[in-house]
Structure 1
Amino acid sequence: MDNVTEFRRAARALLDHLDSEKNVNASVFETNIRVVGGLISAHLLSRRAGFEVEPSWPCSGPLLRQAEVFASKLLPAFNTPTGMPYGTVNFKLGGVPRGETSVTCVAGIGTFILEFGALSRLTGDPRYEAVAMRALKAMWKYRSSLGLLGNHIDVITGSWTARDATIGSGVDSYFEYLVKGAALFRLPELDSMFREYRLAIEKHIRHGDWNPMINKDKGGVTMAVFQSLEAFWPGLLTLTGDIEGARRHLIAYHEIWRKYGFLPEFYSLSDHKAYKGREAYPLRPELIESILYVYRATRDPALIDMGVDILTSIEVSARTPCGFATVSDVTKHTLEDRMESFFLAETTKYLYLLFDENNFIHQLPGEKTSLEGSRLPSGLQCFPESGGYIFNTEAHPIDPGALNCCFAPQLDEVEQASKVETLFSDSNHLKMPNNREFDSDTNTSDQITEIDLLSTVDSVFSEHVQSQLGYSSSDAFTWIINQSSSNCFNNVYFDSNLIVSWIELREIIKSSVLENEKENDKLNKFSFLDSTKPPLLTCPYPSFQNRFGLSGLLTST
């Protein structure tokens, strides 16, 4: 909204008044999506808002440090035999409260990878992404024979305590974070997990345009209702490319809105009316969120009309002198003296963005990239604020370009150390001759030359590329040049940490071969790698925790 003055005031208030040492029991899930996610997002938006940033931004800053403080308070919750976290921690005690239940919902286990992954990549501390990935994968192991998850599970034993399979309450953001995590961090594994689960949904849960609750083991319908929280589903399908499926569900959901002017928490699919006792509408954002995503994909003007419909209902029926109130009964439009924080964080934001088509948040990756960008210590450029923003489940945008700015050089150091250790582990094989040895009568035919060492460096690079990036040619030079024509190659850090390791290892020894004109020409072929473009979110990228694991800095998850 370009209200930078208010942003700076709010950011300063957070820094001055947030207290991470209060003696309170806090939800791990809510603290993550609201506090940690909000602080990370504010940090990434701070330079655009004119906030005074540190020279090493986006890799440091007071808002980022505050986010890490709160995230560190959540880490003890993940210390369970299964890797799935408890639902509550006490900030002052720095751990899980005594007597805390070990039962947690699926969403409370699988909704961390965006915030924790972003934090790891910005700070270089791999612990956050590691525990989030471990929790995601741990939950995946407890699917039923139908490939479905229940609703609540014991994080100590792995026993299900609520067996209803649904895409709604208690589960919803697990699916959201599989899709968005795959996009933000370019992790094909998460995308595969979602697509596999989607097949199970289509086979066992979906009935026409609806997704009622079913038994995860037997597949029978246990509750024939539509939940308002399910309205996020069309937006998520849009992100996966299923536009027609998204349209079909969205139209069905909007028909309920038209019937009441709002979405009740539960709508009976058998009685075709608001479910008794669940008639409230607490100003939830999921329907308008889906409308925004589908509109961005299709530009269908009918979706703008849907947005106007929702905006009008809220303005006419929910406005009060001091804000907007929860609708306690959609059949009567009675109000409750309560306004949830997600109304401001999400509902109003998605509505605003639907009508503000030129907002920077809509910018595609690399669409309006600054030619200068920011130069990394390694010499490569990075491009924060270059589009492709991904919302967390509380509508806090995360900038993938900024993550790459910090994530690439951190990994450079790790990979360089690993490559050097590999190259020089056999000191006899890779012994560089000194001047005395050259001056002696010793036969140097068995000693490695600078050219040989360059070839060894290239072979190590090729080995890693083959396993991580689909390298298939015996000639690294030819393969790189051939790949330069692809959109993915031109728009990503082409495995920048590996490229930098390769370049810098070659730099160590190339001075002695520069007088060889032919070799010098060969080295110049790689000059184009010094200026790369921002990431396309669809390009594969090896996972952060696996790379640290390769260097022995993080145990396998």
Structure 2
Amino acid sequence: MLQECLKRVETAFNEALVSVTCIVHAVAVLRRHCCCQLSTKSNEQIPVTFKSFCQDHFFSYLSIKDKVKAMFYHAYNSYLLHAYPLDELKPLSCSGMDTWGSFSLTLIDSLDTLLVMGNETEFMRAAEIILRTVEVDMNVNVSVFETNIRVIGGLISAHMLSGRVKGMALEPGWPCTGPLLRLAERFAQKLLPAFKSATGMPYGTINLQYGLHRNETAITCTAGIGTVLLEFGTLSRITVRDILFLGNPHYERVALKALDALWKLRSSLNLVGNHINVETGEWTATDAGIGAGVDSYFEYLAKAALLFQRPELMKQFRTYVKAINKYIRKDDWFVWISMTSGQLSMPIFQSLESFWPGVLALTGDVDDAQRIIYQYSQVIRQYGFPPEFFNLPKQEAVSKRAGYPLRPEFVESLYYVYRATKDPLLLEIAAEVVDAIEFSCRTRCGYATVVNAEHHSVEDRMESFFLSETTKYLYLLFDPDNFINTDGTVARIIETPNGQCIIDAGGYIFNTEAHPLDPAIVYCCSAKRNSDLEMIARFENNIDLASLMGIFDETLPPFGRGSLSNCCWPTDFNTESVSFRRFLNSAFAKHIYPAAGIHFIVGLICLSAGDSTEEALYDADWPNVYEVDYGKNATAIDEIRFNKFRYRSMPEVGYDVLLTPPLSYLSRFTGLGQVKPRPDDAQ
């Protein structure tokens, strides 16, 4: 193994000597294949050049990953020792405090991070403690936003990932039922009264025992309204409410109603403000930007579109992106302006805005994301981490808003952009962030919030998101083989009351607190899957293979899904009167065929190959994949593979359904059959 390492190092090092542009690549090779081994086999005969280059200037992925893991456990164990059962740790005084509702919040927020770092034993112990001790019916006022993303999101994610834990007893019917899921739903039920406003947008605060106070303010931030759907939608898809194992649609409905209200209240510039009256719909703070008070609204539009296959949400997100680029973006920075006039109101970069490159990378705007993350990196390398507010004209931290409360947004974007580009320079930057946190924030009892990024003074608080987000994203950056990072080539088949399901296949969608949600489980437990399987059975019973082989009948069941939002049919092809023959002879089919070389009918949905990878990408709602070869005299259709339990790949492949190019690290399943282009296409 060592000799193989040295061979790779020699190649990379020689390239680096020839071209400066190869140095970054050489660094990556050295880190991954050399440094760890040099530290453990120093007695081997190793060329001095390589040994010095490696040991003096770089350290391995493994050492950084271990450093992040040690960072997590120092904070986690300090919380258990000094703060539990209170919400948060005070790392300077080695004590604790309740902040968001007395939920043992840091313990809930840490659950899935324990599994990401491979600690199944502690996960089981912590989950048992939470189920035994956490109360829901308390006389305490809580933030709807924070309770949703931290408590409900953390419990749902822990429930979904619990199936990976060896020795953990799972209820019959898991993943569509389970104690952690029921606890999450109990909290969601307590939040529902907050949505009883005239507009359907939720109030910001609610009492868990008594509900909405009659004097509660109706002013809520935009993010508080728009950051609900991932958790509430997942609950609707996977919670059991009857013997048919169908979820409760009410949670998703109230979240969608709130989103719809926000969308309708955007300005003529397609921008939204910062705060709004949920009873009247009047904007009370009209500053438009992508930072505090707005940020996760945009994030949830994109992520919910992917998780729940809702193209209309992605269209809304794209509309906002276009407006943001036109009015708010200034040379890869983003300022604050009036949502109505577009006039500049605040030329400030906020650390919360650092999430933006990650969402852009997730939705396919990788080049843009990379440019922006490099821009932000200038600030990080100046201070070690991003100050809360950075004055763009003066290029300095705003004196009274220069703190760093261990926020994750910058490393979150590093994670997404690195996964999309594999740019090793982003790992260099991430390693610098790890060192900065370790140097400036570590205390005897955890990690402390930085009061001022210029002189790195600290104060007595450690937010729970340091354990749920910051350390998790840093760890995943340096652990490419982690199950969260799987590319869909490995999965598990399980038996459920709904039949077989494939889960743990990657493509996890993180909520805004970095709690990963498995889209396969969302689909496995959903009522939509039941209706899909019924449709498939009806289709199989009615299909006439003789007709498909060329003996056409105009009364053949149509190959159309009946909705322009699900497939790029031309306008006259979205009704049930369309026959298969008419579709094949259409200008639409003939138009896309020469470009794609191959055209697919996937179950009842059209899907073009789109590129020359010679792989049939699979839209898993519909299991029948056919290759269509346009011959001179007949249309031959061959089934490539049939598997009704395969789940959805990225649905935008070859289409504008979600207006997003496919990213390999998000793909669900690929390579369901090799596709051979026509001879004239190959020439």
Question: Do structure 1's residue 120 and structure 2's residue 236 form an aligned pair?
Answer: yes
What's 1:474 paired with?
579
What's 2:185 paired with?
68
Question: Do structure 1's residue 393 and structure 2's residue 535 form an aligned pair?
Answer: no
In 2, the alpha carbon distance for the partners of 1:342 and 1:129 equals 25
CA deviation string 1:500-545 (max 9, x = no partner): xxxxxxxxxxxxxxxxxxxxxxxxx9996553312213359999xx
Moved more, 169-178 or 139-148: 139-148
Instruction: Classify 1:27/1:527 alpha carbon distance in 2 versus 1 (closer, same or farther; 3 Å).
Output: same
1:378 Cα deviation from its structure 2 partner:
5.8
Question: Do structure 1's residue 337 and structure 2's residue 457 form an aligned pair?
Answer: no
What's 2:364 paired with?
241
In 1, the alpha carbon distance for the partners of 2:459 and 2:295 equals 25
The residue type paired with residue 475 of structure 1 is F
CA contact (8 A) 1:47 1:53 kept: yes
Match of 2:647 among 526, 529, 534: 534
CA deviation string 1:283-336 (max 9, x = no partner): 100111111111111111111100110000000111000000001111111110
CA contact (8 A) 1:491 1:532 kept: no
RMSD over aligned CA atoms reads 3.1
What's 2:244 paired with?
none
In 1, the alpha carbon distance for the partners of 2:385 and 2:640 equals 58
What's 2:223 paired with?
107
What's 2:282 paired with?
159
1:80 Cα deviation from its structure 2 partner:
1.2
In 2, the alpha carbon distance for the partners of 1:411 and 1:119 equals 17
In 1, the alpha carbon distance for the partners of 2:517 and 2:582 equals 35
1:249 Cα deviation from its structure 2 partner:
1.3
1:412 Cα deviation from its structure 2 partner:
2.5
Question: Do structure 1's residue 320 and structure 2's residue 320 form an aligned pair?
Answer: no
Q: Secondary structure at the match of 2:333?
A: coil
Match of 1:55 among 168, 172, 187: 172
Question: Do structure 1's residue 178 and structure 2's residue 305 form an aligned pair?
Answer: no
In 1, the alpha carbon distance for the partners of 2:378 and 2:560 equals 56
- Which sections of structure 2, spanning at least 5 residues, go unmatched? 1-116, 240-246, 539-552, 585-598, 610-614, 625-637, 659-683
Q: Secondary structure at the match of 2:349?
A: strand
1:363 Cα deviation from its structure 2 partner:
1.3
In 1, the alpha carbon distance for the partners of 2:555 and 2:187 equals 42
Match of 2:204 among 83, 87, 92: 87
1:475 Cα deviation from its structure 2 partner:
3.5
What's 1:289 paired with?
412
Moved more, 284-293 or 469-478: 469-478
The residue type paired with residue 367 of structure 1 is T
CA contact (8 A) 2:403 2:449 kept: yes
What's 2:379 paired with?
256
CA contact (8 A) 1:376 1:409 kept: no
In 1, the alpha carbon distance for the partners of 2:556 and 2:413 equals 48
In 2, the alpha carbon distance for the partners of 1:237 and 1:359 equals 23
Give me the identity figure in percent.
51
In 2, the alpha carbon distance for the partners of 1:249 and 1:323 equals 32
Instruction: Classify 1:389/1:458 alpha carbon distance in 2 versus 1 (closer, same or farther; 3 Å).
Output: farther
More strand by share: 2
1:469 Cα deviation from its structure 2 partner:
5.0
* Equivalent runs, 1:260-409 vs 2, <5 Å: 260-364=383-487, 366-370=488-492, 373-375=493-495, 377=497, 379=499, 381-408=500-527
Instruction: Classify 1:100/1:316 alpha carbon distance in 2 versus 1 (closer, same or farther; 3 Å).
Output: same
CA contact (8 A) 2:523 2:529 kept: no
Match of 2:151 among 35, 54, 70: 35
In 1, the alpha carbon distance for the partners of 2:195 and 2:533 equals 26
Q: Secondary structure at the match of 1:153?
A: strand
Q: Secondary structure at the match of 1:74?
A: helix
Match of 2:161 among 45, 58, 82: 45
Q: Secondary structure at the match of 1:226?
A: strand
1:243 Cα deviation from its structure 2 partner:
1.6
1:476 Cα deviation from its structure 2 partner:
9.2
What's the TM-score, normalizing by structure 2? 0.65
1:489 Cα deviation from its structure 2 partner:
7.9
Instruction: Classify 1:23/1:415 alpha carbon distance in 2 versus 1 (closer, same or farther; 3 Å).
Output: farther
CA contact (8 A) 2:174 2:496 kept: no
CA contact (8 A) 2:498 2:524 kept: no
In 1, the alpha carbon distance for the partners of 2:476 and 2:365 equals 22
1:245 Cα deviation from its structure 2 partner:
1.2
